[in-house]
Chain A
Amino acid sequence: MASSIAAVLRTGSWADPLRPYLDLDRRPDALSIALMVLGALGGAVGLAFVGYNLFVHGHAAFNTSSDMAWGAPIAFYLFFLLSSSGLSILASIDSVFGVHAFYPIAKRCVFLSMITLIAGFSILALEIGHPFRMLWALPFSLQIHSPMWWMGVFYTLDLMLLIVKFWLLHTGQWHTRLTHIVSVLSFVVCILAPGTLGLVFGMMFMRPAWYSPVMPMYFILTGFMSAMAFITFFTAFEPKATTPANVRWLHEATLPRLFFLSLLAVAGMRFGQLLTSLWTNYEGMEANWYVLRSDMLQAELLVGLVFPILLLSTNGLRRNAFVRFAAAVLAMVGIFLARLNLLIVGQIVPLFKGYWAGYVDYWPSLTEWMLVPAGFGIFCFIYGAGHWLLRLDAQPTQAR
């Protein structure tokens, strides 16, 4: 199907104005076709399933409740948004800090950052009660004391700057003054956005399991680790024959080491979090002990941190593409679980509901789980198309 679409695009005269910007004459490779087909299928099935159930049952199709107000959809949304911020940081290493070794992945990271943001926003639109009302009520309210309002401001700016930055890179303007300014602004915003998202949780003094000045830093750091998993996932199987030596070195040595370091940093921070969580007030202790005893936490730590760290612990292992790929997949699954754990620990003890209320009983419904193929479907389809048409491995040709 994708090949026939490509044929139509190659021959159609209406596509002529797009030719300078899109590689319409290039045949899509197997990866692009696979991602677009899988993405279209996953996205269509996921969105149709979620859309139908929301239409018939409303948000009662989710297992969230007045006690567990934020459930798995918010966890999935966090996963995509924080990964996006991490990818944007990664894309800034060259354009802001001048580390030229990262040029080969810069454009790909900007594109990945854009589409993870789009996938996250799509999930949010399905979770929130009135997404269209949000479009006018949020900007016109100027609720500057709400961290969520600032989060909306920064993530909107983030997406706009990423689009401009991608356009500049796509049109070959790697070293212009404008590109540098946009890159610096984008870097500042991609730190502020996840930091503010951290404040959305970290400022909740009434929920001791969340209340922490470290939460913004945790979000930024785990976002970066998640971004490392994303880029490792998509660069693990670059064809050796056609990949230049410096790019292979980046993929096989530099990125895996940075991935390994980011995993160690997250592990250290998580260890500190778990230790400090052992002593807090009653509600916090109950919530923390609940999570400490849960299988979900063990899965998060083993799958998301211990196994990937072991897999990337030596140079020999890091050079193996399958090992890198496996470490990336495990880290992504682990951070996915970490987001869900975070949501649960903050709400598992209901606020002021009496002793009889017990813990909040929550596990995501099938409709909530189907947001995963919906979100990943959107992500994979756009990435596949970008991989085919947008020369994501482009590097600067002009002198600096």
Chain B
Amino acid sequence: MPRWGMVIDLEKCTGCQACTTACQMENGRLPNENWQDVLFYNEGEFPSGKLTWLPRPCMHCENPSCMAVCPTGATYKTEDGAVLIDWDRCIGCKYCMIACPYGVRFYAEEKQKTQPDIREVFPDPDGDRVWGPPWQLPADRQNNKIGVGIQPKNVVSKCTFCYHRISQAPPGTRDLDPNDPNLRDYTPACVVTCAPTARYFGDLDDPESEVRRLIAEKRGTRLLDHLGNRPQVYYLAGEQPAIPETRSVRMRDEGEA
């Protein structure tokens, strides 16, 4: 059984948001409900100021705090390493959203920031789900038990590592390389679509896998590692700090630090 993980090379990422769009199309996400997002940061001041960015999917932690706090067991971890939500058990208490250090959980029952409200433009014909986008996964691939597809109302949603794809990969697969025609359909949508090939997906437990080689040779780092969640998404930062300059800039602007 593999333990799937992702490596993102920040020196190759252009911040183009193609991954965000691919994820939205694949998983039928609402605007602003970005399971996969690219975060932007301003660093420094003129004349040395710069713009940096950080792609951020769910970290599918080895020790997920979201799973620990879930009072109903709706959030669980699969044997192959994905953290998923059983939408039929979720009660919408949102404690997991409070407990996720990476802010990657979403509750669609909120006022939409963009208008018109796309849920009213494309309502679910049966009224059971959050909305009914004109393109969505075939019904037989949508699965409440693994949180794939358009979610029912009043439950929390999150990135699944495209579990409907990776769980179908042939046994013994070491790396899900989108350039391999035989594996492309089993590779997460964000990895498939990444034009500069900044994303790698493979078995973290296999010492021969590409993701393991990259982590070892290019000093793969994890976000907020001090918190103890142990993410299964690693960043290759090269000479740059993995996490862009933090939010303190704003506080200094307001003269409080």
Contacts and interface: CB of A to CB of B under 8 A. Distances in A.
Interface stretch (A84-92, A163-171, A279-287): A279-287
Interface in B41-87: 41-42, 53-54, 56, 65, 68-74
A138 B94 contact: no
Contacts of B141: none
B72 A285 contact: no
A58 B249 CA distance: 37
Given A129-B109, A141-B73, A146-B70, A134 B91 contact: yes
Contact of A206 (B101, B251, B254, B256): B101
Nearest to B256: A289
A352 B40 contact: no
Contacts of A138: 71-72, 91
A65 B109 CA distance: 8
A65 B39 CA distance: 18
A350 B155 CA distance: 20
Nearest to B68: A145
B68 A146 contact: yes
Contacts of A94: none
A141 B70 CA distance: 10
A355 B40 contact: yes
Contacts of A357: 39
B163 interface: no
Interface string B216-257: 000000011001000000000000000011111111001011
A181 interface: no
B16 interface: no
Contacts of B122: none
A59 B247 contact: no
Contacts of A134: 72, 91, 93
A285 B154 contact: no
B251 A289 contact: yes
Given A69-B98, A355-B41, A356-B40, A59 B109 contact: yes
A350 B103 contact: yes
A286 B40 contact: no
A286 B70 contact: no
Given A58-B154, A285-B248, A355 B42 contact: yes
Contacts of B246: 282-283
A307 interface: no
A148 interface: yes
B90 A152 contact: no
Nearest to B96: A69
Contact of A69 (B97, B153, B249): B97
Contacts of B248: 282, 285-286
A351 interface: yes
Interface in B127-163: 153-155
B22 interface: no
B66 to A, nearest CB: 10
Given A64-B110, A355-B41, A69 B101 contact: no
Contacts of B110: 59-60, 62, 64-66
A143 B73 contact: yes
A353 interface: yes
A240 interface: no
A129 B40 CA distance: 32
Nearest to B99: A204
A141 B86 CA distance: 13
Contacts of B31: none
A282 B244 CA distance: 13
Contacts of B105: 66
A126 B165 CA distance: 37
A143 B247 contact: no
A351 B98 CA distance: 9
Nearest to A74: B94
Nearest to B69: A146
A177 interface: no
Interface in B102-117: 102-107, 109-112
Contact of B69 (A129, A133, A148, A347): A148
Nearest to A64: B110
B13 interface: no
B251 A286 contact: yes
Contacts of A23: none
A230 to B, nearest CB: 27
A349 to B, nearest CB: 7
Contact of A286 (B73, B74, B250): B250
B33 interface: yes
B129 to A, nearest CB: 12
B89 interface: yes
A56 to B, nearest CB: 12
Contacts of A133: 72, 89, 91
Nearest to A200: B95
* Interface-central residue, B40, B71, B73, by most chain A CB under 10 Å: B71
A241 interface: no
A128 B32 CA distance: 22
A141 B65 CA distance: 17
A146 B106 contact: no
B95 A148 contact: yes
Contact of A352 (B42, B56, B109, B111): B56
> Which 3 A/B pairs are nearest by Cβ-Cβ distance?
A129-B92, A354-B39, A129-B154
24 contacts: A58-B153, A59-B107, A66-B105, A66-B110, A69-B98, A129-B107, A130-B91, A130-B92, A133-B72, A134-B93, A137-B89, A143-B70, A283-B247, A285-B257, A351-B103, A352-B39, A352-B102, A352-B223, A352-B224, A353-B103, A354-B41, A354-B54, A355-B42, A355-B244
Interface of B: 32-33, 39-42, 53-54, 56, 65, 68-74, 89-95, 97-107, 109-112, 153-155, 223-224, 227, 244-251, 254, 256-257
Given A59-B109, A133-B72, A137-B73, 13 more contacts: A66-B105, A129-B109, A131-B91, A134-B72, A143-B73, A146-B68, A146-B70, A282-B247, A285-B248, A354-B40, A354-B53, A355-B42, A355-B244
